[in-house]
Structure 1
């Protein structure tokens, strides 16, 4: 079995979505929707892990031929995580059920598996991967901007992700004006985080290296 597949199956076993007892009928329907979405997230995570493993180990990867289908898996994972967060807003109307997205780390997993691991692999293969890295960062920035506006419960996470993506774009942009634009965006996101986390050293460091 492929190592990435094995790790994915182990992850599925460890973080299975556990059904609460005694749900009202209305929440039962929402719960089943969440269960279905979560199953799709698990499946997408496994595929994305396999894709990044292939990219990391195949330096002759044919981007033109294989990229569209491979990136579609990452877009689908981000979409399903987004869908989970939206559906959970209905489910969390019952305070006793808590915040499932925090319990199962949906936001972190969306970022780590759907965005950042792929971005790091592509960055190591610059310059030939540059247009594909731009595509990943552009799509991710748009989706996370939407979540930043729609789900304030994860405000600090969204700001951090947007800052990291903006820093990435600042460094990979070939046009000087575009690079400065993304530098400004990154500084704005770091500043928003500092309003919430005054004195946080890594944020000052992030601003300093821009």
Structure 2
């Protein structure tokens, strides 16, 4: 039952899937090579796997599955090990809802509209565009505050044990809390700092979030 995560390790969504594999003890490979052969990013094979050429793509037993939340759910449902989903139907639905909230809205505000300008700057001389950062910063801060409110009285998003929602949230939060002061999105007293430290200090976190 070979599991391969197609995509770059620095991607927050790739890290979400990687973290689930680590938590559950699933053996996996990761990157742009499959069975020792390179698969072109946005090439014909990638397009067959995902019509919008997004990553990650999970390759398992010759089948391809896109979209991070679906991948994480599949891994949790079909492999033994730590369970990352509540048993109660309502709580399970709440975790699924938060996975969507994080994957769609919070990721866009924090990662797509702010962090990516720092990582892949498009300004003159290869510098980040100050106007883009200024425009995106309020929404990014507001999005992270939504997560912070959820963590105000919890170790993880849904209590004392991590769930699939943490798989989506943690990579975003770890990146956001690691920014230099001049670019900071997170107040010093925010619970997001302790959350990020907690996630990075775990055995899975050390293998996923501390890799540059």
Q: TM-score, normalised by structure 1?
A: 0.36
Bigger Rg, which one: 1
- Greater strand share, structure number: 2
Q: Looking at both structures, which has the greater relative contact order when contacts are Cα pairs under 8 Å and sequence separation is at least 6?
A: 2
With the length of structure 2 as denominator, give the TM-score of the two structures. Answer: 0.36
